[in-house]
């Protein structure tokens, strides 16, 4: 059978797995609850403590190495299926995990969410291990089912598809964050970007312009517990040599040394790399432009301050510009995972002026 048709059949059968008492019209459903980046995993306790649980934790609970302190990709809460109640079912991110070779009480409870028809489809296709659904028990909810004919098969599929699973929930969280960040509408800074720099990003409320000169603009939001920063730099694109890592590192050093002070009262203070920490880099397609992504740690040149940064470097051939855009935060002693998610979301809204339609402008 055609793989797409098989998937559609599986989706249709999954849609019938929840009882009519539990599944309601989305209009009647309560809003999903839970902190950003929080995952509730519903899984038999014996499997959670065994090899399968170890793999599940490897998927969701890996360390983020580019942050100053040890933080996990997601905040994972394990729930034994026998303790799953209506409140816990209403969380923002809910994951059910089971393998059909297990017949413990907890495993059987999870398996009740699958119709016999869907089980037959799974038994016929060992590569089928994942299904997602929205608004199952609450509005704004993302539910993922991870399953396998047996534990070994599910374990293998999990380990071979870790990035796929992580990227899915990261995208879900970023989509939610976009709705929250930009709900209040334009700030006016967007028009400054368009008129003076011929580019655009969505700017959340309370961000201020810290510096604005030809070829560079620095946006900043200072709160009691966190200092959030975004800057855009551009210069003429002249050669592919500009995209070599050594040249990009030198470019960032020149930008931060010239524009980004660590202490307004100290004219000699500026930001630099924490070269003792790894600078993670990868080639990306930045909205149909070749580019590089850099992640790592920054510090002030006097070592008094530091934190994480996320940078994108790319070429806009139509504008004949090399762009260097970055988000960085300063929040000593605090969790910074979600602050950096905010930086990624803001930077991902970048567009050149010619890419905006008249309504957007």
Look at the domain 189-355 and name its fold: Protein Transport Mog1p; Chain A (3.40.1000)
Long-range contacts for 60-68 (Cβ within 8 Å, ≥24 apart)?
60/95, 60/165, 60/166, 62/162, 62/166, 64/337, 65/278, 65/280, 66/277, 66/278, 66/280, 66/295, 66/296, 66/297, 66/308, 67/308, 67/336, 67/337, 67/340, 68/297, 68/306, 68/307, 68/308, 68/336
Q: What's the pTM value of the predicted model, to 2 decimals?
A: 0.88
* pLDDT digits (tens), the chain, 361 positions: 444 333 433 444 444 344 434 555 566 899 999 999 999 999 999 999 999 999 999 999 999 999 999 999 999 999 999 999 999 999 999 999 999 999 999 999 999 999 999 999 999 998 899 999 999 999 999 999 999 999 999 999 999 999 999 999 999 999 999 999 998 777 899 999 999 999 999 999 999 999 999 999 999 999 999 999 999 999 999 999 999 989 999 999 999 999 998 777 777 889 999 988 889 999 999 999 999 999 999 999 988 899 999 999 999 999 999 999 999 999 999 999 999 999 999 999 999 999 988 666 6
CB 347 within 8 A of CB 310: yes
Strand, coil or helix: 271:
strand
- Burial grade of 142 (CB within 10 A; 0-12, 13-18, 19 or more): buried
Residue with tokens 């055609």: 2
pLDDT tens-digit series, residues 268-296:
889 999 988 889 999 999 999 999 999 99
Instruction: Write out the DSSP string of 315-337.
Output: EETTTTEEEEEEEEEE-TTS--H
Q: Please list the residue range(s) of the chain that carry CATH number 3.40.1000.10.
A: 189-355
- How many other β-carbons are positioned within 10 Å of the β-carbon of residue 354? 10
Q: pLDDT tens digits for 222-269?
A: 999 999 999 999 999 999 999 998 999 999 999 999 999 877 777 788
């Amino acid at each position: 059978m055609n793989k797409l048709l098989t998937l559609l059949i599986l989706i249709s059968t999954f849609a019938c797995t929840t009882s009519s008492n539990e599944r309601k019209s989305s209009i009647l459903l309560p809003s999903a609850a839970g902190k950003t980046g929080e995952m509730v995993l519903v899984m038999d306790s014996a499997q959670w403590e065994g090899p399968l649980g170890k793999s599940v934790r490897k998927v969701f609970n890996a360390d983020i190495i580019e942050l100053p302190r040890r933080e996990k990709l997601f905040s994972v809460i394990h729930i034994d299926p026998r303790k799953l109640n209506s409140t816990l079912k209403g969380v923002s991110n809910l994951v059910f995990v089971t393998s059909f070779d297990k017949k413990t009480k907890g495993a059987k409870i999870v398996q009740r969410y699958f119709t016999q028809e869907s089980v037959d489809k799974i038994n016929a296709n060992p590569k089928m291990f994942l299904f997602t659904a929205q608004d199952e028990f609450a509005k704004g909810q993302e539910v993922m089912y991870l399953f396998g004919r047996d534990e070994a098969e599910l374990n293998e599929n999990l380990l071979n598809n870790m990035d796929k699973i992580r990227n899915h929930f990261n995208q879900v969280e970023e989509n939610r964050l976009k709705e929250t960040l930009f709900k209040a509408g334009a700030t006016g800074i967007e028009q400054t970007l368009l008129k003076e720099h011929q580019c655009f990003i969505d700017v959340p409320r309370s961000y201020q312009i810290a510096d604005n000169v030809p070829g560079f603009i620095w946006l900043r939001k200072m709160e009691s517990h966190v200092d959030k920063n975004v800057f855009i730099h551009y210069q003429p694109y002249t050669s592919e040599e500009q995209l070599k890592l050594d040249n990009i590192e030198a470019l960032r050093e020149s930008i931060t040394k010239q524009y980004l002070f660590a202490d307004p009262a100290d004219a000699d203070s500026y930001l630099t790399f924490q070269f003792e920490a790894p600078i993670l880099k990868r080639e990306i397609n930045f909205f149909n432009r070749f580019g590089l992504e850099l992640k790592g740690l920054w510090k002030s040149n006097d070592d008094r301050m530091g934190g994480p940064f996320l940078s994108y470097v790319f070429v806009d051939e139509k504008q004949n510009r090399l762009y260097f855009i970055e988000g960085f935060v300063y929040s000593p002693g605090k969790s910074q995972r979600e602050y950096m998610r905010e930086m990624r979301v803001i930077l991902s809204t970048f567009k050149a002026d010619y890419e905006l339609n008249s309504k957007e402008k």
